[in-house]
Amino acid sequence: MGRPHPAAGGDFDSPVPPGAGWPGDPASPDTPVARSAAGVRRLAGSCCLDPNVNISTGNPDVWTQTTTSQPLSELDARISVCHACRRLVRWREEVAATKRAAFADEPYWGRPVPGWGDPEPRVLLVGLAPAAHGANRTGRVFTGDRSGDWLFASLHRVGLATRPTSTHAGDGQHLLGTRMVAAVRCAPPDNKPTTPERDTCAPWLDAELRLLMPTVEVVVALGGFGWDAALRGLTALGYAVPRPRPRFGHGAEATLSGADRDVALLGCYHPSQQNTFTGRLTEPMLDAVLGRAAALAGLA
């Protein structure tokens, strides 16, 4: 039985079918679906071969070319319908169908969560993966859970978000010069993707970095998983990583050299409940790193 979206109204099944009218849904029923690691590589890679070319088809073995001026939108769409990791597809859809009691009257997105924010950002945040009852419910990264509450409140305090809260897609929130992505796009059991799942999903991040890095000045890695994913993705893109390899820590900074210019990588403890409840991460600590990112990017 469908449930109404908190902002858009209308009834939505859980998980939400592509193109059903969910606020911000980038996909349509025709968006090509990756069903294997090889499919992810092909569909991610073809989004950024040429910024004016979209190679798309529902069958990854037969490609046709159509033109589009929005490769990032096409990438978001392809990510949002991915079915490559059998365990994660099963988990995200099971959570969407069963729901947490507090959200029993809401529809759950139940699909991969694409990046969100400014399409030409100067600051890029890289997190771990969607939360089962957060982004997996709302369809927007870091939206609808305690981690997101902390993160958006801080982004607002340092001038990178228009509102202090992020509750659901279509709530009027906007990021300013900033975009956020998860290294793994599907909610994993216990917040722990396996190494093969991480590697299967990596081409989506690689493709997104390829499209975004022409404007990005600062990458903020939320947690060690995000730090490693950012380093791997930027290395794959040709950025030179200092030796010895920079280690993650809260407030850690590294400069990665690109062909045309450098990018700063900042480390920040993940605003997980484990970190915020225990005081390992405080609001001033979070504000310090995000404020530093805003300053380095010229957004302060």
Judged by the rule CB under 6 A, the positions of this chain that interact with ligand SF4 are 40, 79, 82-85, 88-89, 112, 184-186, 197, 200-201, 204
Cβ 199 to ligand SF4 shortest distance, Å: 9
Question: Looking at beta carbons only, is 229 or 299 nearer to ligand SF4?
Answer: 229
Q: Which residues contact 242 (CB under 8 A, 6 or more apart)?
A: 254, 255, 256
Token duo for residue 2 = 């469908």
Taking the C-alpha atoms of 182, 188, 273 and 253 in order, what is their torsion angle to the nearest 10 degrees? -30
Q: Which two tokens stand for residue 78?
A: 């392809």
Nearest distance in Å: CB 258, ligand SF4: 26
Smaller CB distance to ligand SF4: residue 36 or 215? 36
48 or 186: CB nearest ligand SF4: 186
Considering beta carbons, is residue 34 or 296 the nearer one to ligand SF4? Answer: 34
Residue closer to ligand SF4 by CB (options 40, 286) is: 40
Q: Is 147 left (phi over 0), alpha (psi -120 to 50) or beta?
A: alpha
Residue 105 C-beta: closest distance to ligand SF4, Å: 26
Sequence-ordered list of residues with C-beta below 8 angstroms from that of 170, at least 6 positions apart, any chain: 5, 7, 8, 23, 24
Shortest distance, position 172 Cβ to ligand SF4, whole Å: 27
- The CA distance from 213 to 122, in Å, is 9
Question: Cα separation of 198 and 192, whole Å?
Answer: 10
The least distance separating ligand SF4 from the CB of residue 193, rounded to whole angstroms, comes to 7
